[in-house]
Amino acid sequence: MAGRLDVRVRCVTPPGTGAVSVLEFLGPDAPRVLAQLCPSAAAARPGLGLVRVYLAGSSCDEALLVVRSPSHLELHVHGNPLLVEEILASCALVGARTDEHMGAHTGARGSDQNLEARAIWALARCQGELGARILLDQAQGALRREIQSLLAKTGTQQDVQLEQLLERALGARLALRPAQVLLAGPVNAGKSTLFNLMVGRRRVIAHQTPGTTRDLVRESVRLGGFVIDLWDSAGLRPLDPSPVPARAIDAVERAGIRAALEFVERADLVLWLVPLGADAERVLPPGAQRGANWRVIRTHADAGEERAWPEQGISVPQRAQAAAQRVQELIAAGLQLQPTLWTQGQGVPFEDEQIRQLEGLVGEKARDARRPVLGAWLAVPAGP
């Protein structure tokens, strides 16, 4: 083992799986230890930047590096406990003192913080690559510069820039927070089988027995630079007692069906799974209203039947890769995910309250209100 260095490395986020884990490097030898993991960090200056993390000579993650001072560095990595453990072990191997978890030391986001600090707070909780890049730009002052530019304009020019800023903010929402996508449909429609396929592992039990899935189950799934929360749900069928004892609905399944029906109302996208040959409308249970955010997927299609439904039919058991690709495309189209919605350097409002305020400033009648409202965004100056 290497000689002991004057540096302590510790994880300052709570233990367990999460979106992001923050590792703090404290001490005069902090840059030396970090450079063993991230060679590009050797030339890092105060501020923020993206670095590549290497373990045992292999690239394992892209992380956010925050240089607060030469002896105080932070590495924001994906929140996988095994990754954190490996990084701490590598630091200990080169002579650093390590503590696994010290608890979160950063305070909650507050309105008394400047735009840049609030972007850093949001960045630590962002799950998607595109959202992280957008927030990194805002943490480096992109939104501040945008607002300053907007307030320097008047009349129609200001109107146009404000509308563009609002459009960009609305388009970026799903990059900054995971969209909620629900797999719903009648019993034995293949929801759990598709859920396991999209998640990439056997997360839930898939069985032909009606009522196998009793509750809502969530997993995060990456689609390009976006992250979605994918939900599996109980099979929907009439809640009235069944005349067939083997198919009677018990209290637990009944609660699961009600939870699924409630979630239908607030999901960003509902993928309505219907076995091939069934009537997509007739299988709707009482209380379920098919909305504009619904997409129908025909399941249980064999190779021949799948061709009969070229836009909707999937066969998970026989053509898993094709099924996953088709569902990913359907989700991206249904949510209107736009990887090109933002160009590096552009300001993007990243909080719901910011978007709400911008919506109230659109139009000629709101021109006089813009300076006091947007000026308040700049009231707390950027740090050094």
Q: Where are the beta strands (DSSP E) in the chain?
A: 8-11, 20-26, 47-55, 58-69, 72-78, 97-101, 179-184, 217-223, 226-232, 269-275, 294-299
Residue 64 lies in a domain: yes
* Whether residue 156 is found in the same domain as residue 48: no
Contacts for 245-251: CB closer than 8 Å, 24+ residues apart: 247/210, 249/211, 250/211
Residue 245 DSSP symbol: G
Q: What is the pLDDT of residue 105?
A: 38
- Its domain, for residue 158, covers 115-172+349-376
* Whether residue 202 is found in the same domain as residue 237: yes
* Whether residue 68 is found in the same domain as residue 141: no
Q: What is the pLDDT of residue 1?
A: 41
* Whether residue 206 is found in the same domain as residue 328: yes
* Whether residue 148 is found in the same domain as residue 198: no
Q: What is the pLDDT of residue 239?
A: 46
Q: What is the pLDDT of residue 312?
A: 59
- The CATH number that applies at residue 92 is 3.30.1360.120
Q: What is the pLDDT of residue 264?
A: 80
Residue 278 lies in a domain: yes
- pLDDT-derived band at 288, boundaries 50, 70, 90: low
More confident residue, 226 or 309: 226
Name the domain boundary from 74, 101, 128.
Answer: 101
Residue 89 lies in a domain: yes
pLDDT digits (tens, 9 = 90+) for 338-365: 877 788 899 999 999 999 999 999 999 9
- pLDDT-derived band at 15, boundaries 50, 70, 90: low
Domains in the chain, number: 3
* Whether residue 148 is found in the same domain as residue 217: no
* Whether residue 43 is found in the same domain as residue 91: yes
pLDDT more than 90, % of the chain: 24
* Whether residue 153 is found in the same domain as residue 76: no
Question: CA Rg, the chain, in Å?
Answer: 25
Q: What is the pLDDT of residue 282?
A: 53
